[in-house]
Amino acid sequence: MGSAVAPVLWPDLDARSDLIDPPRTKRQLGAFYTPSQAASFMANWAIRRDDERVIEPSMGDGQFLRAVAVRAERSGLRGTETWGVELDEPTFRDAVAGAVVEPERAILGDFLQVEPFPVDVAIGNPPYVRLRHLPAHEAAVGRHVASAGMGEDMDPAGSIWLPFVVHATQFLSDGGRLAFVLPLDLTYVRYAKPLWRFLGRRFGGLRLVRVRERLFPDLLQDVVILLADACGSTTSSVVYEVYERRSDLLAGSPAIRAEIGLAEVAGEGRPFMEALLPRDLRAILRGKILDVTTPMRDRVTWNIGYVSGDKTFFHPTVDSARAFDLPPSSLVPALASGRRATKHGLNTAGLPASASQQLFLPPADASRLSEGDRAYVEHGRATDVHRRYKCRIRDPWYVTPGVRIPDVVMPVFADRPVMLVNDGGLAASNSMLAGFVRTGSAEDAAAAWYTSLTLLQIELNVHSLGGGVLVMVPREAGAIRIARTASRGSFVEIDGDLRAGEIETAYERGDHPTLRLNSGLSKAEVDLVREGVHILRRWRRSGSDAGDS
């Protein structure tokens, strides 16, 4: 390329220390430095010719720039020019001192505020911090950069990696390439849908790489590698490659390779998850199973449970309730722990006392408080409970809003979520999902829930935290497809299985009466569904059981 373009640099760090923010931790910065295997793979793909200019937008310890240098040296590319940007001042100093990048091509500051200049390659691992966890001005900059670049508003629920991708593309010359390590969220979150549309309009080739073995062994974060080629062109699809191990990635031996339309990626489904499944199973999911199932939201409306603001105060122990002489009318039986609610059967009426708690819910009208209520409220004020965030924004502070008695409940955090029929009439805290039946009964909903198909739908629709723990949220729970018609004939057995902790068996109890007899699936099709559950669960748990080979 032509002569170097010189954006604003910080040539004298000590002289400009007044402009440098206080150091932030690696977690606050969202910085997790990339192992050399992933960096080498990306550099080998991205660097193709001599005299190319490369930028790493969040260089950290310089893994990518080092990988680029190795690639250039081994390929005899003497004219490769590298630039690095870094927000964290101590990290920036270390990178320059370690000769990761030449001082005249090192930029200290926020990449999102660097004026674009032409490069051939943008490569790196942007921060993964949610916008809401950033200082307000940084979040505002991120949203502006993303929205202006994509031509669509960025959802404020998003993360800063998305503006990084959008801004990096503004640097690329025609034919340029982008190689980024991004969170698996890219494949399914709503706020990434506009990004996929943008990428299709900006690049002639898109490739997404996933490796079951963790690319970040020290980080509970599932990631993918986005490779975007031929900037200035367009495409309507993305090539998805799935590898078992890092060594397979370096050898170019994918276990799965599929081409997925961007319209499908930007739609409501989760095609990257479905691509992990056998072809025959994908076919029945999009055909026969669609005909005999319905989204859970058509049967049950899901909400998150109540938020008390202080679990200890608002769930007084039996001894505390007795000591303050709290009246029964101010205490509502409640499920405050999803973990405590499991292994006690299908019905909340059968829960032991140890599995539930009492929610302090006195009258909102202060004149109707009993003497015990007033004493307990004063106790909360004396211990500063009224100053807790959720308490101080409501009036009166001691009344938990939105407390309703749901028809069915489920834990928010679980490996295999258990649905319980709430015949015990318990309120549910925000550790539970509260379900309100729209059609049929709670028992009908539970009968349709307990099948292997539901487990498969959970794997397809529900996101997980690091380590593979599923997180049930109302929108995703509502997207789970369940059988239109179901049999209650196995309730006794399901109840016994849940009491014994045999959750998988409880789900499989419904396969014969509900999936085979009522829904018309063959034994082979049910077996395919079960196989799909194990495949997706294996991928979800990849960090805990993937080897290091």
For the chain, the average pLDDT equals: 90
Handedness of CA 321, 324, 329, 334 (dihedral sign): negative
Contact of 435 with 411, CB cutoff 8 Å: no
* 300-304/432-437 β-pairing: antiparallel
φ, ψ at 125 (rounded to 5°): -135, 90
The per-residue pLDDT for range 353-366, each reduced to its tens digit, is 888 999 999 999 99
φ, ψ at 82 (rounded to 5°): -115, 140
Q: Six-digit token pair at 12?
A: 């004298």
What domains does the chain contain, in order, with CATH numbers?
34-276 (3.40.50.150), 277-299+438-549 (no CATH), 306-404+426-432 (no CATH)
pLDDT recorded at residue 220? 65
Q: Which of 222, 272, 209 has the alpha carbon at shortest distance from 469?
A: 222
pTM: 0.86
Report the 10 Å Cβ neighbour count for 329.
12
What one-character-per-residue DSSP string does 92-115 give? HHHHHHTTSS-GGGEEES-GGGSP
What does the DSSP 8-state code read for residue 480? -
pLDDT recorded at residue 5? 40
Q: Which residues of the chain have pLDDT under 70?
A: 1-35, 217-220, 466, 543-549
Contact of 424 with 335, CB cutoff 8 Å: no
Q: Which residues of 26-56 are buried (b: 16+ CB within 10 A; e: fewer)?
A: eeebbbbbbbebbbbbbbbbbbeeeebbbbb
pLDDT recorded at residue 353? 86
Q: In angstroms, how far is CA 214 from the centroid of its own chain?
A: 16
3-state helix, strand, coil in the chain (%, to 5): 40, 20, 40
CA distance 64 to 49: 17
CA distance 41 to 64: 10
Q: Given the structure tokens 């937008």, which residue do they identify?
A: 57
pLDDT recorded at residue 487? 87
pLDDT recorded at residue 545? 47
pLDDT recorded at residue 18? 36
What does the DSSP 8-state code read for residue 412? S
pLDDT recorded at residue 320? 96
Q: Six-digit token pair at 537?
A: 């669960």
* 172-183/119-124 β-pairing: parallel
393 three-state secondary structure: coil
CA distance 303 to 445: 16
